[in-house]
Structure 1
Amino acid sequence: MDAIAVVSLVIKKLQGLLPADENTTTNNDPTVFQKQVQGAIDSLDSLKQFLKDEDDREASSGHSSMDDQVVAQLLRAVYSADDALNTLILKKELQEQTDIKSGTIRKSKRFMKNLISRKGMGKLNKEIRRLVEIKEKAVTSDTSFSTVGNGGGRHSSSWQDRRARISDFCLEEETDVDLVNELLIRLVPYQFPKLIAVIGEGGSGKTTLARTIYDRVDVRRYFTKRAWIQVPSLFNTRQVLGDILQQINEAELVEESTLSEDELMWRIIKLLNGARCLIVLEDVETTQILETVLNPLCNSSQFDTRMILTTSNANKLPPQTGYLALHLGRLNEEESWKLFLNKVRMKEDEVVNSELISLKEKILEICGGLPARIVLLGGLLSTKERSYNEWSRVVLERAGNNKVDIMALSYQDLPSEIKPCFLYMGIFPKKVEIPVRRLIHLWVAEGFVMPLLDPEETNHEDMAGRCFEELVIRNMIQVIRRKSDGSPKTCYMPGVLYDFFSSKAEAVGFFNRQFRTSSNKNPELAEVRRLATYSGIKNLQCSLFAHVHQNLRSYVAYDTRIRCSPSIETGMLLKKIISNRGFGLLNSLDLEGVYKPKLSDDLVGKLLHLKYLGLRSTFIDILPATVGSLPCLETLDVKHTNIKEAVHIVKAEKLRHVYLCVNSSNKVLLDLSSLTNLHTLWGLNVGSSSELTLLEKLTRLTKLKLTGDIKLFRSKKSVECFAKLTNLQSLKLRSIPKSIEYDSFIYLDSLAEHHKLQELYLLGTLPGNRLSDYIPPNLRKLTLSMSRPGIDPMPLLGQLPHLNVLRLLSNSIMVERLTCSAGGFPKLRLLKLWHHRYWKPVLLTVEEEAMSSLNELEIRDCLMQPPRGLENVITLKEITLTNMPDTFREDVEKILQGRNVYIKNSTCPSSFKEYSSESEDEDHVGDEDGEGDDEDGEGHGDDEENEDD
């Protein structure tokens, strides 16, 4: 589990207690304290090596010398040692604060020595001795234990060294086209029954197929309401109806917990009146769902509801003939081999012409035609050297052992530093989409990602991102939604892996969730270190709540209830973990999505080790003032809140990431002079040159979003400020003119020198004759809004070698012609032209060999002539036309006649595939980061807002 990560952290903390100068001693007692600390470090180093050896052995042989009970005991002992040390350090810090306030002067070294030698160090050494005893028992219980060398199935190079291969990995998923078409055609109105059942055994691809349909753009546009429901194994009608209500109800908050089943159904029917709705019910295991959910919704004449349910047991289907069944069997050898080659990222001839082909029969036998097994084995082998020796070690020696499951093998083969990151995903509900941004920050706060070099110079989030990419490559994480540039936005652990690993992780005490814990018969192992609640603490079993005590390190609230009253449960939990000793050891407090949690100044101020505070989408009105003084706080996320009172963040000097809400950023007052560790500052309002002077000192910033008056951004101070922020990778700059001033330009001449800058968003007028001064050379994503350059920007932008996404929004085209020259835009895959009403129609011309990678083109509310040269773009797959004349669409269809290009038009619902709702842009659908379509107040939809981290 995460024992290695915790042991490494404890060693690091102990090393911090040693004097910087090894020769430093006291007059009377030269090295007693140093010997105590060094002895603890040596013991933990030995334990760490044992754990690494055991990890290597398990990866090589598939066999562990420790059963779940021993693992749980060892993990709990490691946690206890860490708790003892942290308690010791915190008591010291509190005492020093008290001494400073009272004016007492102590010699810090003597105070530390006395404190540790009296109580703290004794308790810590006791816990370490217990650890050593557990380790020795584990070793002697298996006499065949031996250290595995580099040849034991591990990579000769570390996972960090394979970074280049990870970066080149294509994240596109493949789904059986015939199955997709068959299911899609059955959704066509009035031709088939309203219920479709997808039947297949675990790992057969039911969820993947349903998800592919559910997320298709044409399906999302046709069905104005959608809901994806994970049906609980213990079926609960109110819970299912509540989930449906929450997902289709975007306009208001209701108190779901007080409504009866009939009231919930009445609200759903009322909301669906006149609408088209698609509901997916996943993992159905009971026929009871027919009477309580399916019949009332499918039989209504007030709306058109289509339902897809997935099940592994045909006997659990509703006992009626009014549905269509789609059976998913195992793949045949040809289909299995094709899928395997796709996941291992090799072509047929590459394998046929090598000795690897001799392993084909064994690979197909191991996978047995189940897509889940094929995907995992392919992902595992994709990380190995393409040689017979490497592949045969996996296929013949390890996977060939009938006692070793492919899922267990995939986990065993993970590098030890990634294993806790993978297991942590099980703390979230099954198949719930987890924002990648949220997951990575939690991994860092938990200490799973250890710095290789100087912690102050290491970007922990980049390291966590590499862990994420490794898990994606191995197909152990499934990416669900992506940003416009293709980078992952949300993800989850595949269902078969979740079922296999989450219960095991909970059984050994890696984390606890509000269910199942009551079945734990060993009270010693039930102590809660990490806690996740899915519907508030009120519903926790008494047996679990009894073990939530002062050593709780992580609390993740995933409260999906729709409510209109503030949540008080979080305050109850904090009070409990603080009550015994006056402070808490909590590292992570993640309340994202919980409605207005009650957090008092007193309780939050005692969380002295808190690193991550996630309050996004909580709509809280008040941020506790003590947040600004938390000494260890690294990430503060208050996006989508209603903070009304000013909060000063002055002493949180370790802050690395701050996410502010547009409406509250002027209420959160940052002392930028002390926050020199900031890497992310997203959503800040600046109002004066003095603030820019402070901002220019934050030279470690990689992500910055600023809003300010146009006159501020045209000043010399603005140029000087951005010239010094040379580490920026993402910049969003929103100027707010008090009136439309066509000569009020943004002056950022230095941006062209920012070679690290990859994402740039500029809202404001730019001087067209100096446009090149504003465009960094390595951009991957560029958005210009209200720029009014007065020249054709395409020749300049087409020279950017890495540009992947280009958005020209609201009056960023002020010329009659846009010309994409031959060879220009070599990497561009998405082009959006929005809200351009120049006095003459604009003509877009694409010359031959221009835009050679373009997949998507969107034109919205523009005065344009039919584009020329689109037929030359052979990679083009999709064109979206919104609020464009019918004649424009007809002209585009003629240009692309005979080409397999999907053309969508919001004003011409001539067929199911061509229908487009007139509501939101597709990027807004189901987007947890959306801030509204007209946020900038200029009538141009700003879908870039939906991708803010």
Structure 2
Amino acid sequence: MAEAVVSVTLETIRDLLVEEAKFYYGVRSEVEAIQQELQRMRSFLKDADSKQDTDERVQNWVAEVREAAYDIEDNVLVFVAAKVASRRSRNSRNVFRRMGCFLKEIVTTYRVGSRISDIKSKISGLTTSLQTYGIKPITDPGEGASSKNGRINDLRRSYSHVVEEDIVGLEEDIKMLVGHLVDEQKDRVVSIYGMGGLGKTTIARKLYSHSDVRRHFDGFAWTCVSQQWDKKDIMVGILIKLIPEKREDILCMRDEELVKQLHDVQLKKKCLVVLDDIWSGQAWESLKPAFPNSRTGEGSKILLTTRNKEVAVFVDPNGFLYEPRFLSNEESWELLQKKAFPRRGDDNAEFKIDPDMEKLGKEMVGPCCGLPLAILVLGGLLITKHTLRDWQMVYENINWYLARGRGHGQQQAVNDVLAFSYHDLPFQFKQCFLYFANFPEDFEIEAEKVYQFWLAEGIISQDERAEEETMMDVAERYLAELAQRCMVQVNVKETAGGFKNCRLHDLMRDLCISKAKDENFTKVIDFRREKKATESYASSNTARRVSVYLETNETNSPVACSEYNHIRSAFFYASDCKGDFLQHMKSHLGSFKLLRVLDLQGFHYPDELPKAIGDLIHLRYLCLSYSQFKKLPSSLGKLIFLETLDLEADTTLEIPNVVWKMGRLNHLYLPSNFLTQDGAKLRLDGLSELETLVNFNTSLCDVKDLDRLTNLRKLRAAIKDNLDDLPNIIKYISFTQNHLRRSSLSISCPQFCSDAELSLLRTLLGCHRLYKLSIRGHIAKLPEHYHFSSTIAKIAFKASALSEDPMATLEKLPKLSSLTLYDSTYVGEEMVCLTKGFPRLLYLKLWGLSNLKTWRIDEGAMPKLTRLVIAHCGKLEMLPDGLKFITTLQKLNVRWMPDGFKNRLRAADGEGEDFYKVRHVPDIKLD
């Protein structure tokens, strides 16, 4: 991975030399000289990285190069920080302060110049030793524009493939397990156990979504227990899924209340609770009181996955135990084909696999020992290889890799296959993969945040950008590459496209942590496991990243910050920490001189973010999500290099009016509720580089500032109380010269009734970059369908009081995927959905249409609908007969409807008269 570190260092130096040339007076010649030395060194590193697994001397040499590159970057960044501080001091009225900073600058210049000269000598010495180790320079010819664009298109087309969970050879087993779950006379607990990578969670997901299972149970909840579990978090998560209407009450409950409520709800209705990845009997012992211990209730059951058979037996000695078998050679080859050749599908009858490729594939799949994860990872590697020669090289390399004799046994062979997937990664992807070591076990992280982390650390090069791409687009391609190789699991956004979130499989996370440790990439400090966690840091005090897990109800010791002056990224997971950890930390924040990423999650105290945050001059990413800070310091304005600022805290936040000074800001997430310290509207006019703006509220921000945001790609805005600012919003969204790709707008106003207001609404609906629209207020008449832009995908209307059936218009929108009609949006009695209407609709919610009596759906309407919610429509007589034609419907949720309406849908104790309409729907909830 040294090649990746050197590349990042070179990019950092290049960027700073170009953008901050005035800073380099005094050290420029030294910096340029070492830049040339590193450029020469990089040509040797590709060969060295590939040989370090077989030669300990080469491994040590690579490590020295890596640390030298880090050291160079450290010194350059320290020098820039000193220059910035000196430049600021020139505006001070204090003569002694100006003189002190001037002298400090001279000393820093001398020290940095001297240190860089020393490192240059060390690099030169390392270069001369290359011949001893037989390392040769490898020139990277690079990619042509056409091949790069072809690869980009391949990845974009494959987004639908990277999330598929293929199961081969276990179809009968799944049918048998479904039988155990839906038979109320059989086992209360069904356990799937076995070694990591057998597909336990994949099988559990298949069962969880199976149509017979969805029809049988009334409530469903899935929780991942993992090795580091929190009893309260688990119970809260389960309860919210079983009784979502009581979410606010659940969040305020004490432990004993949660136990009783969870126990009682499983007695009142049939619930299926999945406890995924439970590691210990201790975890079950803690949760046990919240689960009924007999079959006297409504037939609630537990589906459990674990690596340890002993845990499954401990949970229920009489429960059903199932261990997935390893795949046969034929099944292994079948699974490998599905992954390595995703476009070979049944509809591609002409597709044939090269016989020589097939022979190599069958040979290579052998070391996977029939373990599905290993086979999928190998297939993900082979999907990037397109020729027979490519497959031959993989075959030769994997045989060499497995023949090194690291160990014996099935588990070791599988681990080596997974490790080879990391070994095969192009250097630019290795740091991206290792970055996942910073996140907790079974942690799902938003893909957008992952991109921003990578970019903040400079892991992704500007040179990777193709025409019309942003750096976020490049980062998405990187994640697609890792997902395609099955190294990262991802979820795809149903309507918007792209990735929603991502996570690592347990075995892949083990590999990630192991490699991160070998590369001295990150360090975990876990106060949940040991109270003196910081003492363990001394053995690894040059790690460039740190993740700190804080105990919820105890005061945690401050991190030994003197050891942290090299840190690039710091993640603090507070989990509703009520201690004064940040108060202890604030006097030490200045030690994090080189920090680029600071992620503060779950903090409840202190009220104000420490002022010392402004001293972190190199900070690129700052996040306060899920925390309850109430005030930000004005020193925030000093963060001139900041690229991402996430202020979506859980409270009303007081923000200093300094955000406009952050000229390099690319992504700004404002709180849904905030106020400014000076009482004026929040200024954003200096943010010409901004690409993402979330929670822009016209009552709190000046809409005229949007005209200055010429680089914006994504806008989520809100208008409240009146429509005065709507013309300016429309003007910005419609302006063809800006780069806006997608906008979401929420409007809450009294009405759209006058001719002028309706004209304004028609103009808004015609905006071609409008993706999502929510309107709360009276609408005299819905504009005709041809006034709507074809780009609109999501619509929500509330309290519109429309007298004419809105479906006649909305069903003609070609890309509408989500529609919500709230609180008397339609006051008529009859609603009709015609054939071919709503061609792309996936989600439909009808809530509070109090006058609606009849609803007709013609055959061929809503051909892609997957989820339907009907609630508080008290006069609706029955479900439309046409639902029986919508074979794609997966979920039907009927809430707060009259008993007579719900009884017509019940399948138990004799079918209700309307049940035939939805017999095909796997998941029906009647709340």
What's the TM-score, normalizing by structure 2? 0.81
Instruction: Trace 1:631-642 onto structure 2 (pairs within 5 A).
Output: 631-642=640-651
**SS in structure 1 at match of 2:186:** coil
2:87 aligned with 1:92: no
Structure 2 CA distance for aligned equivalents of residues 522 and 866 of structure 1: 63
**SS in structure 1 at match of 2:377:** helix
Residue 201 to residue 454, structure 1, CA distance change in 2 (3 Å): closer
Instruction: Trace 1:693-708 onto structure 2 (pairs within 5 A).
Output: 693-708=704-719
1:158-191, Cα deviation, whole Å (9 max, x unpaired) = 6664222222221343455544444444345853
Specify the alignment match of 1:653 in structure 2. 663
Specify the alignment match of 1:731 in structure 2. 743
The amino acid of 1:142's aligned partner reads Y
**SS in structure 1 at match of 2:358:** helix
Specify the alignment match of 1:832 in structure 2. 844
**SS in structure 1 at match of 2:611:** helix
Residue 278 to residue 551, structure 1, CA distance change in 2 (3 Å): farther
Gaps of 5+ in 1: 233-238, 257-262, 908-917, 919-949
2:389 aligned with 1:389: yes
Specify the alignment match of 2:447 in structure 1. 436
Structure 1 CA distance for aligned equivalents of residues 173 and 724 of structure 2: 54
Residue 448 to residue 692, structure 1, CA distance change in 2 (3 Å): same
1:81-110, Cα deviation, whole Å (9 max, x unpaired) = 11111110010011011012349999xxx9
Structure 1 CA distance for aligned equivalents of residues 778 and 626 of structure 2: 32
1:864-889, Cα deviation, whole Å (9 max, x unpaired) = 56436445445444444334555588
Structure 1 CA distance for aligned equivalents of residues 20 and 672 of structure 2: 44
Specify the alignment match of 1:616 in structure 2. 625
Q: 2:119 aligns with which of 124, 127, 135?
A: 127
Gaps of 5+ in 2: 240-246, 405-415, 907-911
Structure 1 CA distance for aligned equivalents of residues 434 and 648 of structure 2: 27
Specify the alignment match of 2:337 in structure 1. 341
Give yes or no for contact 1:381–1:391 (8 Å, CA) kept in 2: yes
Specify the alignment match of 2:600 in structure 1. 591
Specify the alignment match of 2:673 in structure 1. 663
Q: 2:69 aligns with which of 55, 78, 88?
A: 78
Give yes or no for contact 1:552–1:577 (8 Å, CA) kept in 2: no
Structure 2 CA distance for aligned equivalents of residues 788 and 177 of structure 1: 50
Give yes or no for contact 2:762–2:788 (8 Å, CA) kept in 1: no
Q: 1:164 aligns with which of 145, 153, 157?
A: 153
Instruction: Trace 1:280-295 onto structure 2 (pairs within 5 A).
Output: 280=274, 294=288
Q: 2:895 aligns with which of 879, 882, 885?
A: 882
1:553-608, Cα deviation, whole Å (9 max, x unpaired) = 21112233x55x3x4223434533415xxx72211111122333565443112111
What's the TM-score, normalizing by structure 1? 0.79
Instruction: Trace 1:122-201 onto structure 2 (pairs within 5 A).
Output: 122-134=114-126, 137=129, 139-140=130-131, 142-143=133-134, 145=136, 147=138, 161-169=150-158, 170=160, 171-175=163-167, 176-188=170-182, 190-201=184-195
2:241 aligned with 1:228: no
Specify the alignment match of 1:44 in structure 2. 38
Specify the alignment match of 1:901 in structure 2. 920
Give the stretch that moved more between structures: 614-623 or 675-684: 675-684
Specify the alignment match of 1:777 in structure 2. 790
Residue 457 to residue 876, structure 1, CA distance change in 2 (3 Å): closer
Query: 1:532: how far off?
Result: 0.3
Residue 288 to residue 720, structure 1, CA distance change in 2 (3 Å): closer
Instruction: Trace 1:300-319 onto structure 2 (pairs within 5 A).
Output: 306-314=301-309, 318=313
**SS in structure 2 at match of 1:100:** coil
Give the stretch that moved more between structures: 341-350 or 519-528: 519-528
**SS in structure 2 at match of 1:902:** coil
Structure 2 CA distance for aligned equivalents of residues 736 and 478 of structure 1: 38
Query: 1:112: how far off?
Result: 13
Aligned Cα RMSD in Å?
4.7
Give yes or no for contact 2:225–2:275 (8 Å, CA) kept in 1: yes
Residue 541 to residue 837, structure 1, CA distance change in 2 (3 Å): closer
Residue 798 to residue 174, structure 1, CA distance change in 2 (3 Å): farther
Residue 501 to residue 519, structure 1, CA distance change in 2 (3 Å): farther
**SS in structure 2 at match of 1:125:** helix
The amino acid of 2:77's aligned partner reads N
Specify the alignment match of 1:534 in structure 2. 549
Give yes or no for contact 1:187–1:306 (8 Å, CA) kept in 2: yes
1:830-877, Cα deviation, whole Å (9 max, x unpaired) = 1303226275545343454x5444434444444656436445445444
The amino acid of 1:200's aligned partner reads G
Residue 518 to residue 475, structure 1, CA distance change in 2 (3 Å): same
1:448-490, Cα deviation, whole Å (9 max, x unpaired) = 2222389999632222122122222221111368566675433
Query: 1:736: how far off?
Result: 2.4
Structure 2 CA distance for aligned equivalents of residues 431 and 271 of structure 1: 26
Give yes or no for contact 2:193–2:312 (8 Å, CA) kept in 1: no
Structure 1 CA distance for aligned equivalents of residues 633 and 558 of structure 2: 31
Structure 2 CA distance for aligned equivalents of residues 801 and 64 of structure 1: 61
Query: 1:639: how far off?
Result: 1.6
Q: 1:550 aligns with which of 565, 573, 595?
A: 565
Specify the alignment match of 1:323 in structure 2. 319
Q: How many residues align?
A: 870
Query: 1:325: how far off?
Result: 0.7
Query: 1:434: how far off?
Result: 1.9
Specify the alignment match of 2:458 in structure 1. 447
The amino acid of 2:79's aligned partner reads L
1:204-227, Cα deviation, whole Å (9 max, x unpaired) = 112323355567894997447654
Structure 1 CA distance for aligned equivalents of residues 334 and 19 of structure 2: 60
Structure 2 CA distance for aligned equivalents of residues 132 and 804 of structure 1: 60
1:29-81, Cα deviation, whole Å (9 max, x unpaired) = xx9865333212211222333334556x57xx986887654444333322221
Specify the alignment match of 1:570 in structure 2. 582
Structure 2 CA distance for aligned equivalents of residues 316 and 888 of structure 1: 40
Query: 1:671: how far off?
Result: 1.1
Give the stretch that moved more between structures: 643-652 or 789-798: 789-798
Structure 1 CA distance for aligned equivalents of residues 182 and 676 of structure 2: 50
Residue 680 to residue 42, structure 1, CA distance change in 2 (3 Å): same
Instruction: Trace 1:200-279 onto structure 2 (pairs within 5 A).
Output: 200-213=194-207, 218=214, 222-223=218-219, 227-232=223-228, 241-245=231-235, 247-248=237-238, 266=256, 269-276=259-266
The amino acid of 1:557's aligned partner reads F
Residue 172 to residue 368, structure 1, CA distance change in 2 (3 Å): same
**SS in structure 2 at match of 1:661:** coil
Query: 1:498: how far off?
Result: 0.8
Q: Percent identity?
A: 24
**SS in structure 1 at match of 2:478:** helix
Specify the alignment match of 2:407 in structure 1. none
Give yes or no for contact 1:480–1:492 (8 Å, CA) kept in 2: no
The amino acid of 2:704's aligned partner reads T
Give yes or no for contact 1:722–1:750 (8 Å, CA) kept in 2: no
Structure 1 CA distance for aligned equivalents of residues 216 and 582 of structure 2: 36
Residue 695 to residue 302, structure 1, CA distance change in 2 (3 Å): same
Structure 2 CA distance for aligned equivalents of residues 69 and 539 of structure 1: 41
The amino acid of 2:446's aligned partner reads P
**SS in structure 2 at match of 1:383:** coil
Structure 1 CA distance for aligned equivalents of residues 152 and 776 of structure 2: 35
The amino acid of 1:901's aligned partner reads H
**SS in structure 2 at match of 1:406:** helix
